[in-house]
Structure formats: structure tokens, C-alpha cells
Chain A
Amino acid sequence: MEKQKINPKWTDRLLIGGMILPIAVGALLKILLIPAAEGVEITGAHIFFTIPLPLGGLPITETQVNQWLVMISLYFVCRYLTRGLKKIPDLKRQHLAEWIVEQTEKLVKSNMGEYFADFAPFIGAVLGLSAFSSLLSLTGLFPPTSDLNVTAGWAILVFFLITYYKMKCGPIRYLKSFAEPVPFLAPLNVISEFATPVSMAFRHYGNILSGTVISVLLATALGGLSRLILGWLPGFLGEIPLFRIGLPAVFSVYFDIFSGCLQAFIFAMLTMLYVAGGFPVDEYLSKQKLKMQKASKKTSKKLIKNSEVI
């Protein structure tokens, strides 16, 4: 009996460890492998090593490593939240998990309609991954979303989704949609089609990167200010950047926490709006109905024929 009581606790601890360990590994990698910058510097992602491939090398950068660490961490968060589910929940984490799922489903249903209710897991995944990637900057690591490659990858995925749902009503209808409202506007329509993923990628990337850049500039400025004002103090007292303590954290609340979460929400929201907006649900459903009716008529005719033969 005792073993059964102890076991779940240990699994919990293991899962919590699984959440924290990837972040610790990321911090360790950063300390060990990335040379410390002299003073305050703004650089891109550090390249750990390059895999030689026939078509140019594939650089493994901080972005990829941190993204995988976030994904592993998130996986353990999900496992932890959904462990030991019961019909009548007695744990707080089950309430939290149910709340998250309910809110996501409500959001998807209210923005995309009943037909797209299955999109909730995808939207939830986008929200979670994006928010946690941006919030990684709180631990001092390089946030993967401040690399254009990551957000561009997501935006391309969304672009394929949009195109798939536009094509679902038939390729002819899709091609026709470019000639609206007037045929000679077709080039502009094509451009706006490609502008969607570009603007989504740049929006997310630009917001997170601008937060990082402004934080660094602010830290430098505060360091200079404290040297200017407190530089007359004797010895090492004058070298301590006193204003840099605490003050940047206030701005970090906006630039890291609020901006990161808001961008995740906006990315998910735009995904929903674009996917649902490009797909005429009513037309598709009525077409399906017509097809079903035709098919049922055919089968019924066949049945009648068969019965006549018999």
C-alpha cells in the first residue's frame, strides 16, 4: 500500500524536474559555450556548430537549441497538468488544465465557428509555444521568437493552412478569388496573399526583438547614468551600476511579459481569423449536402433496379 502512496509523488517530482531541467541545461550551455560579452552587446543567436551538408552547412544555433528546450519543458508541463485526471477533480492542477482547455475551445469556437472546433489543440499549441518561447527571456536565455527563422517557420505553416482551406472548395474557386473585385487587380491580390505570412512573421519577431534591444539600451543608459552621478564615490563603490538594479525590471514587465503574451495571443488570433476567413463554410457544407444527395439518389436508384431484377 505504501508504495502506491509514494509512487505518484515521485512521478510528480520527476515531471517538475523535467520542466525545470531543460531551462537549467540551456543556462549551463550559455555559461559554458558562449563567450561573455564585454559590457553590453546586442548580437544575434550564437552558432554552436555547423553540420556539413551537400547544399551548404546547417548551423545549429542557440535558437534551435532553446526552442527544443522550451518544447521539452512544455511537454513535461502538459504531462504534469494532465496526470491522474479524475471525473470529480480534487487537484488544483486539474482545475487549471480544464480551465485552459475550456478557454481555448471557447476562443476557437467564438472566432472560427463550430466547423473549426477541432482547431483548438493546434491553437492552444501555438499559444503555449509562442508565449513560453518569449517568456524564456525572463531566465536570461535567448528567446527563440526573437529570431526571424522561427516566426517565419510558423508563419509559413499558417500560410499553408490558409491555402489548404481556400483550396478545399475547389481550385477553380481559389483561382477565381484572385480576380475579385476586378480582374486587373490580380497581381495586387497575389502580393497581399504573400504579405500575410510575411507580416505575421515580422510582427512577432519585431516585437520581441525590439523589447530585447530597448532593454539592452536602457540597461546601458542606466549604467552610464549611475557612473555619471555616483562616480565620485571612492573605490569600487563608484563602479557599481546602482540604477541598473531593479529599474529595468519595471520595463521588463511590459517588454518581456506583457508583450510576449500579447504577441502569442495575436499570432493565434490572426491564424484563426485568416484560416476561418478564407474558407466559406456555408458554401462548402451545401456542396457536400448536394454531393450526398446525389450519391444517395444513385444508390437508391441502384437499389430499385436491383429489386426490380430480383
Chain B
Amino acid sequence: MELAIGIILGCCALGAGCAMIAGIGPGIGEGNAVAAACEAIGRQPESKGDVTSTMLMGCAVAETTGLYALVIAILLIFVAPRMLVNILLEAVGK
């Protein structure tokens, strides 16, 4: 019984960690976006405001996939263990 609960908790934590590998993608993408924005500002300093707001906008959109992973990780850490343990207990109780 303890072993089963331990496996559930451990796998939930492991899954959350694996899910956050998705953070690599937005990191690289946003880095590229900011690099391009810096280049553009260097070339045309007068268009700094427009470039900055567009860059922030693009960064936020690129961040979405990372945030999906974050939501799944949070669910795995805070919601899933309790639910799964309850399911296990119910199954054993029957």
C-alpha cells in the first residue's frame, strides 16, 4: 500500500519535472525574438516604442506553450496526487 502511494507521488513529481522540459522552447524562441528586436532598434532607434510593444506581444504568444506545460505541472503537483491516491484507496476498499 505504502509502496503504491509512494509510486504515485514519485511519478507525479517526475511527470511535473518532465512537463517543464517544454520551457526550453519558449526560452529559445523568446531569446530569438528579443535578439531580433535589439537588432531592429540598433538599426532604427527612432522606432523603439513600436518594436518593443510588438516584441512583448510576440514574446507573450511564444510563451503560451510553456504556460501549457506549467499548468500541467501544477496540476500534477497539487491536484493529481490527492485524486489518484483517493482512487487507489477506493479501489482497495472495495
Residues of B contacting A202 with CB < 8 Å? 64, 67-68, 71
Which residues, 60 to 78 on B, are CB-close (under 8 Å) to A?
60-61, 63-64, 67-68, 70-71, 74, 78
Which of B60, B70, B71, B74 is A263 in contact with, Cβ under 8 Å?
Answer: B60
Instruction: Tell me, yes or no, whether A206 is within 8 Å of chain B by CB.
Output: yes
- A132 to B: closest C-beta gap in Å: 19
Complex alpha-carbon distance, A260 and B32, angstroms: 23
Contact between A266 and B64 (Cβ–Cβ < 8 Å)?
no
Residues of B contacting A15 with CB < 8 Å? none
Which of B57, B68, B74, B78 is A266 in contact with, Cβ under 8 Å?
Answer: B57
Contact between B57 and A203 (Cβ–Cβ < 8 Å)?
no
Complex alpha-carbon distance, A203 and B57, angstroms: 12
Complex alpha-carbon distance, A269 and B61, angstroms: 11
Which of B56, B63, B74, B78 is A203 in contact with, Cβ under 8 Å?
Answer: B63
* Secondary structure type dominating chain A contacts: helix
User: What mask results when residues 183 to 227 of chain A are scored 1 for a CB within 8 Å of chain B, else 0?
Assistant: 000000000000000010011011101100100000000000000
Residues of B contacting A213 with CB < 8 Å? 74
Contact between A206 and B70 (Cβ–Cβ < 8 Å)?
yes
Residues of B contacting A31 with CB < 8 Å? none
- B5 to A: closest C-beta gap in Å: 21
Residues of A contacting B60 with CB < 8 Å? 203, 262-263, 266
Show the binding face of B for A, using Cβ within 8 Å: 56-57, 60-61, 63-64, 67-68, 70-71, 74, 78
| 10 A-B pairs with C-beta separation under 8 A | A42-B78, A199-B64, A203-B64, A203-B67, A206-B71, A209-B71, A209-B74, A262-B56, A262-B60, A270-B61
Closest 10 CB pairs of A and B: A206-B67, A266-B60, A199-B64, A203-B64, A206-B70, A206-B71, A210-B70, A269-B57, A203-B67, A202-B67
